[in-house]
Structure 1
């Protein structure tokens, strides 16, 4: 019985360690009075998008998957009734003071009293290094009719996570941002919501 309880406790601890806390996503959407509820759509890069990379493709694929869940079917670039323009921005913000400038500190102390005197020296070493930056990722999507380039739906999703954490990795961030932005399509126009 004791062995089973111990084994169960180890499994629970292991699962808790594997669970990743995904930060909330701030989402804002705008759309016309009658946004399309389906049709063919091609996924293209937003003009002026600063991040042309393999990482961008990860986000574009996540957007395509969520649009399919919303009732659209993907078509080849340059084809389709609609075009989904996808933009991606990542920025890094430092957190807290840089503790790597003075990693060693020395303190000296002394005392005298009725039982004698003493002198002590203490050395402190900071091994924590520089704090991790916060990575902010913003995904923008604009859905336009191909025929007249009229925007019919657009939105922005924003999240932040500490650099190096699973939540800051492109695969996880892309899936989370795209699902938060397009989930519940078309969503309430002009309102900012937080998706957890």
Structure 2
């Protein structure tokens, strides 16, 4: 009698090697924390109340990015208690918005320690040609940080006196959902105005994912 031939099975060691090879090819999207720094005037009376208009002192050629950041900041200002009026409308206060996205370059490798990353060169505004795709490879199967997106807001009275200003920034890889303009705008604005007005001169680090649910 001829016994039936057993079904072919991939040897366990070979199967494990194949799985490891596939996992090595995949990369985990890089999303850094949101770093926030804020400054508060000695006499900040009026913060969080009255009318306020948003303004962009610098030209933002990427209109989609401009709209995303204007909407994100306006939503946070309204949550704080402000009455947000259309841009260009007279108001008791003005929120001046600046936003940039620039490439991150790898710092020189120290053989005694891990690879460091930092902002390389100048930072370009949206639409300047700088942005995602200026890649570096830190290895290890994890996507490297590719770009640093920054949001700066300055709140001043109509006479020009600064009441508050802050900056939030996040480093992301090209595959991170937080590299998308609308997502990064909402996340950076949420971090910037969390626990408003914050401590004068303080710098805090926040989890980007937790800010999305705020």
**Residues 50 and 89 in structure 1, CA contact (< 8 A), matched pair in contact too:** no
Runs of 4+ in 1 over 4 A off after TM superposition: 49-52
Question: How many residues were matched structurally?
Answer: 144
Deviation of residue 37 (structure 1)?
2.9
**Residues 41 and 73 in structure 1, CA contact (< 8 A), matched pair in contact too:** yes
Q: Are residue 136 (structure 1) and residue 148 (structure 2) matched?
A: yes
User: Which residue number in structure 2 is paired with residue 16 of structure 1?
Assistant: none
User: Which blocks of at least 5 consecutive residues in structure 1 are unaligned?
Assistant: 1-19, 99-127
> Aligned equivalents of 2:31 and 2:83: distance in 1?
29
Deviation of residue 85 (structure 1)?
0.4
Task: Flag the structure with higher strand content.
Answer: 1
Cα root mean square deviation, aligned:
2.4
Q: Deviations over 1:105-146 (max 9, x none)?
A: xxxxxxxxxxxxxxxxxxxxxxx9xx7761210000000111
> Aligned equivalents of 2:54 and 2:177: distance in 1?
26
**Residues 37 and 71 in structure 1, CA contact (< 8 A), matched pair in contact too:** yes
User: Which residue number in structure 1 is paired with residue 97 of structure 2?
Assistant: 86
User: Which residue number in structure 1 is paired with residue 195 of structure 2?
Assistant: 184
User: Which residue number in structure 2 is paired with residue 95 of structure 1?
Assistant: 136
User: Which blocks of at least 5 consecutive residues in structure 2 are unaligned?
Assistant: 1-28, 105-134, 208-214
Q: CA separation of 1:144/1:85 partners in 2, compared to 1, >3 Å: closer, same or farther?
A: same
Taking structure 1 as the reference length, what is the TM-score of the superposition? 0.66
User: Which residue number in structure 2 is paired with residue 57 of structure 1?
Assistant: 67
User: Which residue number in structure 1 is paired with residue 86 of structure 2?
Assistant: 76
> Aligned equivalents of 1:52 and 1:26: distance in 2?
24
